[in-house]
Structure 1
Amino acid sequence: MAEEPDYEALDPNAGFAVNMLAGALAGISEHAVMYPVDSIKTRMQVFSSSPSAVYSGIGNAFKRISATEGMRALWKGVGSVALGAGPAHAIHFGTLEAVKDLAGGNEAGNQYLATSLAGASATIAADAFMNPFDVIKQRMQLHKSEFRSVFQCARMIYRNEGFSAFYISYPTTLAISIPFNAVQFSVYEHIKRFLNPTGEYSPGTHIAAGAIAGAVAGAVTTPLDVAKTMLQTRGSATDPEIRNVRGISDAMRIIWKREGLKGFGRGLTPRVLTIMPSTALCWLSYEFFKAAIRSD
Protein backbone atom coordinates (compact mmCIF):
# COMPACT_ATOMS: atom_id res chain seq x y z
CA MET A 1 0.00 0.00 0.00
CA ALA A 2 1.33 3.42 -0.92
CA GLU A 3 2.55 5.55 1.96
CA GLU A 4 0.19 8.41 2.87
CA PRO A 5 1.55 11.89 2.19
CA ASP A 6 2.93 13.83 5.14
CA TYR A 7 0.15 16.42 5.24
CA GLU A 8 1.92 19.28 6.95
CA ALA A 9 5.14 18.53 5.04
CA LEU A 10 3.48 19.47 1.75
CA ASP A 11 5.02 22.49 0.12
CA PRO A 12 2.88 25.45 1.32
CA ASN A 13 3.26 26.97 -2.15
CA ALA A 14 0.90 24.47 -3.73
CA GLY A 15 0.37 26.54 -6.82
CA PHE A 16 -2.19 29.22 -7.69
CA ALA A 17 -4.67 26.87 -9.39
CA VAL A 18 -4.62 24.38 -6.51
CA ASN A 19 -5.17 27.12 -3.94
CA MET A 20 -8.05 28.59 -5.94
CA LEU A 21 -9.81 25.24 -6.37
CA ALA A 22 -9.35 24.37 -2.70
CA GLY A 23 -10.69 27.79 -1.72
CA ALA A 24 -13.76 27.46 -3.95
CA LEU A 25 -14.72 24.09 -2.47
CA ALA A 26 -14.10 25.37 1.04
CA GLY A 27 -16.22 28.49 0.46
CA ILE A 28 -19.25 26.60 -0.80
CA SER A 29 -19.04 24.19 2.14
CA GLU A 30 -18.73 27.04 4.63
CA HIS A 31 -21.72 29.09 3.52
CA ALA A 32 -24.15 26.24 2.83
CA VAL A 33 -23.95 24.75 6.32
CA MET A 34 -24.76 27.91 8.30
CA TYR A 35 -27.06 29.74 5.89
CA PRO A 36 -30.25 29.62 8.05
CA VAL A 37 -28.44 31.24 10.99
CA ASP A 38 -27.10 33.90 8.63
CA SER A 39 -30.69 34.60 7.52
CA ILE A 40 -31.69 35.15 11.15
CA LYS A 41 -28.71 37.48 11.65
CA THR A 42 -29.79 39.61 8.68
CA ARG A 43 -33.33 39.93 9.98
CA MET A 44 -32.17 40.85 13.48
CA GLN A 45 -29.97 43.62 12.08
CA VAL A 46 -32.68 45.27 10.00
CA PHE A 47 -34.36 48.34 11.53
CA SER A 48 -38.07 47.85 10.87
CA SER A 49 -41.22 49.63 12.00
CA SER A 50 -43.24 46.42 11.56
CA PRO A 51 -43.61 44.47 14.87
CA SER A 52 -43.73 41.20 12.90
CA ALA A 53 -40.24 41.89 11.56
CA VAL A 54 -38.58 42.59 14.93
CA TYR A 55 -36.87 39.66 16.66
CA SER A 56 -35.57 39.54 20.21
CA GLY A 57 -33.16 36.64 19.79
CA ILE A 58 -32.17 33.61 17.75
CA GLY A 59 -34.72 31.27 19.36
CA ASN A 60 -37.52 33.80 18.98
CA ALA A 61 -36.61 34.46 15.34
CA PHE A 62 -36.34 30.79 14.44
CA LYS A 63 -39.68 29.96 16.07
CA ARG A 64 -41.58 32.84 14.47
CA ILE A 65 -40.10 32.44 11.00
CA SER A 66 -40.69 28.68 10.90
CA ALA A 67 -44.25 29.07 12.25
CA THR A 68 -45.38 31.93 9.99
CA GLU A 69 -43.29 31.47 6.83
CA GLY A 70 -42.04 27.90 6.94
CA MET A 71 -38.52 26.55 7.15
CA ARG A 72 -37.91 27.30 3.47
CA ALA A 73 -37.86 31.01 4.28
CA LEU A 74 -34.57 30.53 6.11
CA TRP A 75 -32.99 29.32 2.87
CA LYS A 76 -34.16 32.14 0.59
CA GLY A 77 -31.22 33.62 -1.29
CA VAL A 78 -28.94 30.63 -0.84
CA GLY A 79 -28.66 30.41 -4.63
CA SER A 80 -26.83 33.74 -4.66
CA VAL A 81 -24.27 32.34 -2.24
CA ALA A 82 -23.92 29.18 -4.32
CA LEU A 83 -23.18 31.25 -7.42
CA GLY A 84 -20.79 33.69 -5.79
CA ALA A 85 -19.07 31.94 -2.89
CA GLY A 86 -17.10 29.41 -4.89
CA PRO A 87 -15.41 31.88 -7.27
CA ALA A 88 -15.01 34.48 -4.50
CA HIS A 89 -13.27 32.03 -2.19
CA ALA A 90 -11.15 30.77 -5.07
CA ILE A 91 -9.98 34.35 -5.63
CA HIS A 92 -9.53 34.84 -1.89
CA PHE A 93 -7.36 31.81 -1.22
CA GLY A 94 -5.42 32.11 -4.46
CA THR A 95 -4.51 35.70 -3.63
CA LEU A 96 -3.90 34.81 0.01
CA GLU A 97 -1.26 32.21 -0.76
CA ALA A 98 0.36 34.22 -3.54
CA VAL A 99 0.77 37.36 -1.41
CA LYS A 100 1.84 35.37 1.64
CA ASP A 101 4.60 33.77 -0.39
CA LEU A 102 5.73 37.05 -1.96
CA ALA A 103 5.76 38.78 1.45
CA GLY A 104 7.76 35.99 3.09
CA GLY A 105 4.92 34.54 5.14
CA ASN A 106 6.06 30.97 4.48
CA GLU A 107 9.43 31.54 6.11
CA ALA A 108 10.18 30.24 9.62
CA GLY A 109 8.88 32.14 12.62
CA ASN A 110 5.79 34.27 13.18
CA GLN A 111 5.48 36.47 10.12
CA TYR A 112 2.84 38.86 11.49
CA LEU A 113 3.13 41.54 8.80
CA ALA A 114 3.20 39.09 5.91
CA THR A 115 0.17 37.11 7.10
CA SER A 116 -1.85 40.28 7.79
CA LEU A 117 -0.96 41.73 4.38
CA ALA A 118 -1.93 38.47 2.69
CA GLY A 119 -5.31 38.40 4.45
CA ALA A 120 -6.09 42.02 3.58
CA SER A 121 -5.05 41.64 -0.09
CA ALA A 122 -7.15 38.52 -0.50
CA THR A 123 -10.17 40.33 0.89
CA ILE A 124 -9.98 43.31 -1.47
CA ALA A 125 -9.99 41.00 -4.48
CA ALA A 126 -12.65 38.55 -3.28
CA ASP A 127 -15.10 41.19 -1.98
CA ALA A 128 -15.03 43.07 -5.27
CA PHE A 129 -16.46 39.94 -6.87
CA MET A 130 -18.80 38.86 -4.04
CA ASN A 131 -20.43 42.16 -3.04
CA PRO A 132 -23.30 42.08 -5.59
CA PHE A 133 -24.13 38.48 -4.61
CA ASP A 134 -24.24 39.51 -0.95
CA VAL A 135 -26.63 42.37 -1.71
CA ILE A 136 -28.96 39.98 -3.55
CA LYS A 137 -28.73 37.42 -0.73
CA GLN A 138 -29.73 39.92 1.97
CA ARG A 139 -32.60 41.35 -0.06
CA MET A 140 -34.01 37.84 -0.40
CA GLN A 141 -33.51 37.11 3.31
CA LEU A 142 -35.74 39.99 4.42
CA HIS A 143 -39.14 39.53 6.04
CA LYS A 144 -41.81 39.19 3.34
CA SER A 145 -39.25 39.53 0.55
CA GLU A 146 -41.01 39.73 -2.82
CA PHE A 147 -38.14 38.17 -4.72
CA ARG A 148 -38.53 34.58 -5.91
CA SER A 149 -35.19 33.98 -7.59
CA VAL A 150 -31.66 35.34 -7.63
CA PHE A 151 -31.97 36.57 -11.21
CA GLN A 152 -35.33 38.25 -10.61
CA CYS A 153 -33.87 40.02 -7.58
CA ALA A 154 -30.81 41.17 -9.52
CA ARG A 155 -32.95 42.50 -12.39
CA MET A 156 -35.27 44.44 -10.08
CA ILE A 157 -32.46 45.97 -8.05
CA TYR A 158 -30.72 47.07 -11.25
CA ARG A 159 -33.93 48.41 -12.79
CA ASN A 160 -35.10 50.31 -9.70
CA GLU A 161 -31.82 51.43 -8.14
CA GLY A 162 -29.13 51.13 -10.79
CA PHE A 163 -25.78 49.34 -10.83
CA SER A 164 -24.47 51.39 -7.89
CA ALA A 165 -26.87 49.55 -5.55
CA PHE A 166 -24.70 46.45 -5.85
CA TYR A 167 -21.64 48.35 -4.64
CA ILE A 168 -22.91 51.04 -2.26
CA SER A 169 -21.82 48.79 0.62
CA TYR A 170 -18.43 47.86 -0.87
CA PRO A 171 -16.43 50.44 1.15
CA THR A 172 -18.19 49.21 4.29
CA THR A 173 -17.61 45.60 3.27
CA LEU A 174 -13.89 46.34 2.99
CA ALA A 175 -13.97 48.24 6.28
CA ILE A 176 -15.27 45.00 7.80
CA SER A 177 -13.46 42.41 5.76
CA ILE A 178 -9.92 43.77 5.77
CA PRO A 179 -9.61 43.82 9.57
CA PHE A 180 -11.76 40.68 9.83
CA ASN A 181 -9.56 38.63 7.54
CA ALA A 182 -6.30 40.14 8.76
CA VAL A 183 -7.30 39.24 12.34
CA GLN A 184 -8.76 35.88 11.37
CA PHE A 185 -5.80 34.78 9.28
CA SER A 186 -3.21 35.95 11.82
CA VAL A 187 -5.03 34.39 14.78
CA TYR A 188 -5.53 31.17 12.82
CA GLU A 189 -1.87 30.87 11.86
CA HIS A 190 -0.62 31.56 15.36
CA ILE A 191 -3.11 29.30 17.15
CA LYS A 192 -2.43 26.52 14.64
CA ARG A 193 1.28 26.74 15.36
CA PHE A 194 0.67 26.90 19.11
CA LEU A 195 -1.68 23.88 19.16
CA ASN A 196 0.37 21.86 16.70
CA PRO A 197 4.05 22.89 17.02
CA THR A 198 5.26 19.61 15.50
CA GLY A 199 3.41 20.29 12.25
CA GLU A 200 1.86 16.81 12.18
CA TYR A 201 -1.46 16.16 10.44
CA SER A 202 -4.17 17.32 12.85
CA PRO A 203 -7.66 18.19 11.53
CA GLY A 204 -8.70 19.08 15.08
CA THR A 205 -6.13 21.83 15.09
CA HIS A 206 -7.61 23.41 11.95
CA ILE A 207 -11.12 23.22 13.42
CA ALA A 208 -10.17 24.76 16.77
CA ALA A 209 -7.92 27.44 15.31
CA GLY A 210 -10.48 28.35 12.65
CA ALA A 211 -13.36 28.61 15.13
CA ILE A 212 -11.44 30.78 17.60
CA ALA A 213 -10.07 33.03 14.88
CA GLY A 214 -13.51 33.48 13.32
CA ALA A 215 -15.20 34.24 16.65
CA VAL A 216 -12.67 36.93 17.56
CA ALA A 217 -12.80 38.57 14.13
CA GLY A 218 -16.59 38.35 13.92
CA ALA A 219 -17.24 39.92 17.31
CA VAL A 220 -14.88 42.81 16.66
CA THR A 221 -16.46 43.71 13.32
CA THR A 222 -20.17 43.31 14.20
CA PRO A 223 -20.87 47.09 14.51
CA LEU A 224 -19.73 47.61 10.93
CA ASP A 225 -21.77 44.60 9.82
CA VAL A 226 -24.94 46.23 11.15
CA ALA A 227 -24.18 49.32 9.06
CA LYS A 228 -23.49 47.16 6.01
CA THR A 229 -26.85 45.40 6.34
CA MET A 230 -28.61 48.77 6.46
CA LEU A 231 -26.87 49.86 3.25
CA GLN A 232 -27.53 46.60 1.42
CA THR A 233 -31.22 46.46 2.31
CA ARG A 234 -32.05 50.16 2.05
CA GLY A 235 -33.84 49.71 -1.27
CA SER A 236 -36.44 47.48 0.40
CA ALA A 237 -36.98 49.79 3.39
CA THR A 238 -40.16 51.78 3.91
CA ASP A 239 -38.51 54.20 6.35
CA PRO A 240 -37.47 57.30 4.29
CA GLU A 241 -34.37 57.95 6.40
CA ILE A 242 -33.06 54.42 5.94
CA ARG A 243 -34.08 54.30 2.28
CA ASN A 244 -31.93 57.36 1.60
CA VAL A 245 -28.87 56.32 3.62
CA ARG A 246 -25.80 57.10 1.51
CA GLY A 247 -22.78 55.53 3.17
CA ILE A 248 -21.19 54.02 6.25
CA SER A 249 -21.05 57.26 8.26
CA ASP A 250 -24.69 57.94 7.47
CA ALA A 251 -25.70 54.42 8.52
CA MET A 252 -23.73 54.58 11.76
CA ARG A 253 -25.25 57.96 12.59
CA ILE A 254 -28.75 56.53 12.21
CA ILE A 255 -27.91 53.47 14.32
CA TRP A 256 -26.45 55.64 17.09
CA LYS A 257 -29.39 58.05 17.01
CA ARG A 258 -31.99 55.29 17.27
CA GLU A 259 -30.43 52.77 19.63
CA GLY A 260 -27.05 54.02 20.81
CA LEU A 261 -24.34 51.45 21.51
CA LYS A 262 -26.94 48.69 21.75
CA GLY A 263 -27.75 49.12 18.06
CA PHE A 264 -24.22 48.28 17.02
CA GLY A 265 -24.53 44.88 18.68
CA ARG A 266 -27.54 43.78 16.65
CA GLY A 267 -27.11 40.23 15.43
CA LEU A 268 -23.89 39.69 17.42
CA THR A 269 -24.81 36.23 18.70
CA PRO A 270 -26.00 34.73 15.38
CA ARG A 271 -23.06 36.39 13.61
CA VAL A 272 -20.53 34.75 15.94
CA LEU A 273 -22.43 31.46 15.90
CA THR A 274 -22.43 31.55 12.10
CA ILE A 275 -18.81 32.50 11.78
CA MET A 276 -17.31 30.05 14.29
CA PRO A 277 -18.37 26.79 12.60
CA SER A 278 -18.16 28.40 9.18
CA THR A 279 -14.54 29.45 9.57
CA ALA A 280 -13.69 26.15 11.27
CA LEU A 281 -15.22 24.23 8.35
CA CYS A 282 -13.71 26.60 5.82
CA TRP A 283 -10.16 26.16 7.10
CA LEU A 284 -10.62 22.42 7.59
CA SER A 285 -12.03 22.06 4.07
CA TYR A 286 -9.36 24.28 2.57
CA GLU A 287 -6.49 22.39 4.19
CA PHE A 288 -8.10 19.05 3.27
CA PHE A 289 -8.82 19.88 -0.36
CA LYS A 290 -5.42 21.47 -0.77
CA ALA A 291 -3.74 18.26 0.42
CA ALA A 292 -6.11 15.98 -1.48
CA ILE A 293 -5.68 17.78 -4.78
CA ARG A 294 -1.91 17.75 -4.52
CA SER A 295 -1.82 14.05 -3.57
CA ASP A 296 -3.72 12.98 -6.73
Structure 2
Amino acid sequence: MKDQKGNLVFYKSVLIGGFAGASGAYIASPFYLIKTHLQSQASKEIAFGHQYHYKGTWSGLWGIFRDQGLKGLFRGSFSAVPRAFVGSTSQLTSFAYCKEFMRKYGILTNSPLLMTFTASMVGGVAISFMMTPFDLVSTRLYNQGVDKAGQGLLYKGYTDCVLKIWKTEGFLGFYKGLGPSYFRLGPHTVLCLVFWDEFKELYQRFK
Protein backbone atom coordinates (compact mmCIF):
# COMPACT_ATOMS: atom_id res chain seq x y z
CA MET A 1 0.00 0.00 0.00
CA LYS A 2 1.30 3.47 -0.93
CA ASP A 3 0.57 6.97 0.29
CA GLN A 4 -0.30 9.95 -1.91
CA LYS A 5 3.38 10.51 -2.68
CA GLY A 6 3.81 6.95 -3.90
CA ASN A 7 5.78 5.74 -0.87
CA LEU A 8 5.05 2.38 0.72
CA VAL A 9 3.22 2.53 4.03
CA PHE A 10 4.77 -0.18 6.17
CA TYR A 11 1.95 -0.93 8.61
CA LYS A 12 -0.66 -1.02 5.83
CA SER A 13 1.49 -3.37 3.76
CA VAL A 14 1.95 -5.65 6.75
CA LEU A 15 -1.73 -5.67 7.75
CA ILE A 16 -3.22 -6.11 4.29
CA GLY A 17 -0.73 -8.78 3.19
CA GLY A 18 -1.12 -10.62 6.48
CA PHE A 19 -4.92 -10.44 6.50
CA ALA A 20 -5.14 -11.81 2.96
CA GLY A 21 -2.91 -14.76 3.81
CA ALA A 22 -4.55 -15.48 7.16
CA SER A 23 -8.11 -15.43 5.84
CA GLY A 24 -7.19 -17.71 2.95
CA ALA A 25 -5.43 -20.13 5.29
CA TYR A 26 -8.39 -20.33 7.65
CA ILE A 27 -10.89 -20.98 4.87
CA ALA A 28 -8.69 -23.66 3.31
CA SER A 29 -7.79 -25.20 6.69
CA PRO A 30 -9.68 -28.50 6.18
CA PHE A 31 -7.63 -29.23 3.07
CA TYR A 32 -4.38 -28.40 4.86
CA LEU A 33 -5.47 -30.74 7.64
CA ILE A 34 -6.11 -33.65 5.33
CA LYS A 35 -2.94 -32.92 3.34
CA THR A 36 -0.88 -33.14 6.52
CA HIS A 37 -2.53 -36.41 7.52
CA LEU A 38 -2.06 -37.99 4.09
CA GLN A 39 1.60 -36.95 3.81
CA SER A 40 2.43 -38.42 7.23
CA GLN A 41 0.61 -41.66 6.41
CA ALA A 42 3.09 -44.47 5.77
CA SER A 43 3.33 -48.23 5.61
CA LYS A 44 3.61 -50.10 8.90
CA GLU A 45 7.33 -50.84 8.44
CA ILE A 46 8.40 -47.20 8.35
CA ALA A 47 5.49 -45.43 10.07
CA PHE A 48 6.23 -43.06 12.95
CA GLY A 49 4.14 -40.66 14.99
CA HIS A 50 0.36 -40.71 14.92
CA GLN A 51 -1.02 -42.40 11.84
CA TYR A 52 -4.31 -41.76 10.04
CA HIS A 53 -5.65 -44.22 7.54
CA TYR A 54 -7.54 -42.56 4.72
CA LYS A 55 -8.21 -43.90 1.25
CA GLY A 56 -8.01 -40.40 -0.19
CA THR A 57 -8.84 -36.73 0.26
CA TRP A 58 -12.63 -36.89 0.17
CA SER A 59 -12.93 -40.05 2.25
CA GLY A 60 -10.64 -38.45 4.84
CA LEU A 61 -12.65 -35.24 4.96
CA TRP A 62 -15.91 -37.17 5.25
CA GLY A 63 -14.47 -39.41 7.98
CA ILE A 64 -13.40 -36.41 10.06
CA PHE A 65 -16.76 -34.70 9.57
CA ARG A 66 -18.66 -37.88 10.46
CA ASP A 67 -16.69 -38.47 13.67
CA GLN A 68 -15.99 -34.90 14.85
CA GLY A 69 -18.35 -32.64 12.93
CA LEU A 70 -17.51 -29.32 11.32
CA LYS A 71 -15.34 -28.41 14.31
CA GLY A 72 -13.12 -31.39 13.55
CA LEU A 73 -12.48 -30.18 9.99
CA PHE A 74 -11.20 -26.89 11.37
CA ARG A 75 -9.04 -28.46 14.08
CA GLY A 76 -5.72 -26.62 14.12
CA SER A 77 -7.07 -23.82 11.95
CA PHE A 78 -6.09 -21.14 14.46
CA SER A 79 -2.49 -22.28 14.19
CA ALA A 80 -2.69 -21.65 10.44
CA VAL A 81 -3.67 -18.01 10.98
CA PRO A 82 -0.36 -16.74 12.48
CA ARG A 83 1.54 -19.01 10.07
CA ALA A 84 -0.13 -17.50 7.02
CA PHE A 85 -0.15 -13.96 8.41
CA VAL A 86 3.60 -13.98 9.04
CA GLY A 87 4.31 -15.83 5.79
CA SER A 88 2.27 -13.59 3.52
CA THR A 89 3.32 -10.30 5.05
CA SER A 90 7.03 -11.18 5.19
CA GLN A 91 6.98 -12.37 1.58
CA LEU A 92 5.05 -9.46 0.08
CA THR A 93 6.48 -6.68 2.24
CA SER A 94 10.11 -7.71 1.71
CA PHE A 95 9.46 -8.02 -2.03
CA ALA A 96 7.90 -4.55 -2.24
CA TYR A 97 10.57 -2.84 -0.16
CA CYS A 98 13.38 -4.57 -2.03
CA LYS A 99 12.02 -3.30 -5.34
CA GLU A 100 11.61 0.21 -3.93
CA PHE A 101 15.19 0.13 -2.62
CA MET A 102 16.56 -0.90 -6.01
CA ARG A 103 14.55 1.79 -7.81
CA LYS A 104 15.73 4.44 -5.34
CA TYR A 105 19.40 3.61 -5.85
CA GLY A 106 19.23 2.79 -9.55
CA ILE A 107 19.93 -0.93 -9.19
CA LEU A 108 18.82 -3.02 -12.18
CA THR A 109 16.53 -0.25 -13.35
CA ASN A 110 17.39 -1.11 -16.98
CA SER A 111 16.24 -4.69 -16.45
CA PRO A 112 12.80 -4.72 -14.80
CA LEU A 113 12.47 -8.50 -15.07
CA LEU A 114 15.80 -9.10 -13.32
CA MET A 115 14.82 -6.55 -10.68
CA THR A 116 11.58 -8.41 -10.00
CA PHE A 117 13.43 -11.74 -9.93
CA THR A 118 15.96 -10.42 -7.40
CA ALA A 119 13.26 -8.93 -5.18
CA SER A 120 11.27 -12.17 -5.31
CA MET A 121 14.38 -14.12 -4.25
CA VAL A 122 14.62 -11.86 -1.20
CA GLY A 123 10.93 -12.51 -0.58
CA GLY A 124 11.57 -16.26 -0.74
CA VAL A 125 14.31 -16.05 1.88
CA ALA A 126 12.17 -13.83 4.12
CA ILE A 127 9.10 -16.07 4.05
CA SER A 128 11.17 -19.21 4.66
CA PHE A 129 12.98 -17.75 7.67
CA MET A 130 9.94 -16.07 9.18
CA MET A 131 7.34 -18.77 8.60
CA THR A 132 9.24 -21.95 9.44
CA PRO A 133 8.65 -21.79 13.25
CA PHE A 134 4.93 -21.16 12.72
CA ASP A 135 4.82 -23.90 10.09
CA LEU A 136 6.39 -26.35 12.51
CA VAL A 137 3.87 -25.60 15.26
CA SER A 138 0.97 -25.72 12.82
CA THR A 139 2.04 -29.09 11.39
CA ARG A 140 2.35 -30.67 14.83
CA LEU A 141 -1.07 -29.42 15.91
CA TYR A 142 -2.70 -30.62 12.71
CA ASN A 143 -1.06 -34.02 12.82
CA GLN A 144 -1.45 -34.98 16.49
CA GLY A 145 -3.91 -37.65 17.46
CA VAL A 146 -7.16 -36.74 19.18
CA ASP A 147 -9.38 -38.36 21.78
CA LYS A 148 -13.09 -39.11 21.40
CA ALA A 149 -13.92 -35.51 22.28
CA GLY A 150 -11.64 -34.22 19.54
CA GLN A 151 -9.00 -32.91 21.99
CA GLY A 152 -5.32 -33.23 21.14
CA LEU A 153 -3.38 -36.09 22.74
CA LEU A 154 -0.02 -34.28 22.77
CA TYR A 155 -0.78 -30.57 22.89
CA LYS A 156 -3.62 -28.73 24.59
CA GLY A 157 -3.36 -25.82 22.19
CA TYR A 158 -1.07 -23.40 20.40
CA THR A 159 0.70 -22.00 23.46
CA ASP A 160 1.16 -25.45 24.98
CA CYS A 161 2.75 -26.68 21.76
CA VAL A 162 5.16 -23.73 21.60
CA LEU A 163 6.21 -24.18 25.24
CA LYS A 164 6.76 -27.93 24.88
CA ILE A 165 8.91 -27.47 21.77
CA TRP A 166 10.91 -24.75 23.53
CA LYS A 167 11.47 -26.87 26.65
CA THR A 168 12.38 -30.11 24.88
CA GLU A 169 14.05 -28.95 21.65
CA GLY A 170 15.18 -25.39 22.30
CA PHE A 171 15.18 -22.41 19.93
CA LEU A 172 16.65 -24.32 17.00
CA GLY A 173 13.85 -26.84 17.31
CA PHE A 174 11.56 -24.26 15.73
CA TYR A 175 13.74 -24.20 12.62
CA LYS A 176 13.66 -27.88 11.79
CA GLY A 177 13.08 -28.22 8.07
CA LEU A 178 14.26 -24.70 7.20
CA GLY A 179 16.23 -25.94 4.18
CA PRO A 180 13.38 -27.94 2.63
CA SER A 181 11.05 -25.03 3.41
CA TYR A 182 13.18 -22.70 1.34
CA PHE A 183 13.41 -25.12 -1.57
CA ARG A 184 9.60 -25.29 -1.51
CA LEU A 185 8.81 -21.64 -0.83
CA GLY A 186 11.70 -20.02 -2.73
CA PRO A 187 10.74 -21.18 -6.25
CA HIS A 188 7.05 -20.72 -5.41
CA THR A 189 7.67 -17.11 -4.38
CA VAL A 190 9.80 -16.34 -7.43
CA LEU A 191 7.32 -17.79 -9.91
CA CYS A 192 4.26 -16.19 -8.29
CA LEU A 193 5.74 -12.72 -7.90
CA VAL A 194 7.52 -12.61 -11.25
CA PHE A 195 4.37 -13.64 -13.13
CA TRP A 196 2.23 -11.31 -11.03
CA ASP A 197 4.54 -8.36 -11.67
CA GLU A 198 4.78 -9.08 -15.39
CA PHE A 199 1.02 -9.41 -15.80
CA LYS A 200 0.54 -6.19 -13.82
CA GLU A 201 2.93 -4.33 -16.13
CA LEU A 202 1.17 -5.81 -19.15
CA TYR A 203 -2.19 -4.66 -17.82
CA GLN A 204 -0.89 -1.13 -17.19
CA ARG A 205 0.50 -1.01 -20.72
CA PHE A 206 -2.70 -1.97 -22.50
CA LYS A 207 -5.47 -0.62 -20.29
Where on the TM-score scale, by shorter chain, does this alignment land: which range?
Answer: 0.7 to 0.9
Residue 160 of structure 1 aligns with which residue?
67
Which of residues 134, 141, 145 in structure 2 aligns to 1:231?
141
In the alignment, structure 1 segments of 5+ residues that lack a partner are: 1-99
Note the C-alpha offset of 1:155.
1.0
212-221 or 196-205, which deviates more: 196-205
Residue 260 of structure 1 aligns with which residue?
170
CA distance in 2 between counterparts of 1:168 and 1:148 reads 20
CA distance in 2 between counterparts of 1:190 and 1:118 reads 15
Deviations, residues 38-75 of structure 1 (Å, cap 9, x unaligned): xxxxxxxxxxxxxxxxxxxxxxxxxxxxxxxxxxxxxx
**Greater fraction of residues in helix:** 1
Cα pair 1:168 1:247 within 8 Å, conserved? no
Two-structure CA RMSD over aligned residues (Å): 2.8
Inter-CA distance 227–234: structure 2 relative to 1 (3 Å threshold): same
The one-letter code sitting in structure 1 at the alignment partner of 2:124 is G
Inter-CA distance 226–192: structure 2 relative to 1 (3 Å threshold): same
Residue 80 of structure 2 aligns with which residue?
173
Is 1:125 the counterpart of 2:23 in the alignment?
yes
CA distance in 1 between counterparts of 2:153 and 2:4 reads 46
CA distance in 1 between counterparts of 2:23 and 2:189 reads 19
Residue 208 of structure 1 aligns with which residue?
118
Note the C-alpha offset of 1:233.
0.9
Residue 46 of structure 2 aligns with which residue?
none
The one-letter code sitting in structure 1 at the alignment partner of 2:36 is Q
Residue 140 of structure 1 aligns with which residue?
38
Note the C-alpha offset of 1:135.
1.1
Which of residues 172, 183, 186 in structure 1 aligns to 2:93?
186
Cα pair 1:230 1:242 within 8 Å, conserved? no
Cα pair 1:223 1:265 within 8 Å, conserved? yes
Which of residues 53, 56, 59 in structure 2 aligns to 1:149?
56
Cα pair 1:211 1:275 within 8 Å, conserved? no
Q: TM-score, normalised by structure 2?
A: 0.77
Which of residues 160, 169, 194 in structure 2 aligns to 1:284?
194
The one-letter code sitting in structure 1 at the alignment partner of 2:120 is G
Note the C-alpha offset of 1:242.
6.0
In the alignment, structure 2 segments of 5+ residues that lack a partner are: 43-51
Inter-CA distance 114–162: structure 2 relative to 1 (3 Å threshold): same
The one-letter code sitting in structure 2 at the alignment partner of 1:174 is V
228-237 or 210-219, which deviates more: 228-237
Inter-CA distance 268–242: structure 2 relative to 1 (3 Å threshold): farther
CA distance in 2 between counterparts of 1:256 and 1:179 reads 19
Note the C-alpha offset of 1:244.
4.7
Which of residues 130, 139, 158 in structure 2 aligns to 1:248?
158
Greater relative contact order (CA < 8 Å, ≥ 6 in sequence): 1
The one-letter code sitting in structure 1 at the alignment partner of 2:29 is N
Residue 180 of structure 2 aligns with which residue?
270
Note the C-alpha offset of 1:180.
2.5
Inter-CA distance 208–250: structure 2 relative to 1 (3 Å threshold): same
Aligned-residue identity in percent = 21
Residue 113 of structure 1 aligns with which residue?
11
Cα pair 2:146 2:152 within 8 Å, conserved? no
Deviations, residues 139-175 of structure 1 (Å, cap 9, x unaligned): 1111416333221121122223332233232222222
Q: TM-score, normalised by structure 1?
A: 0.56
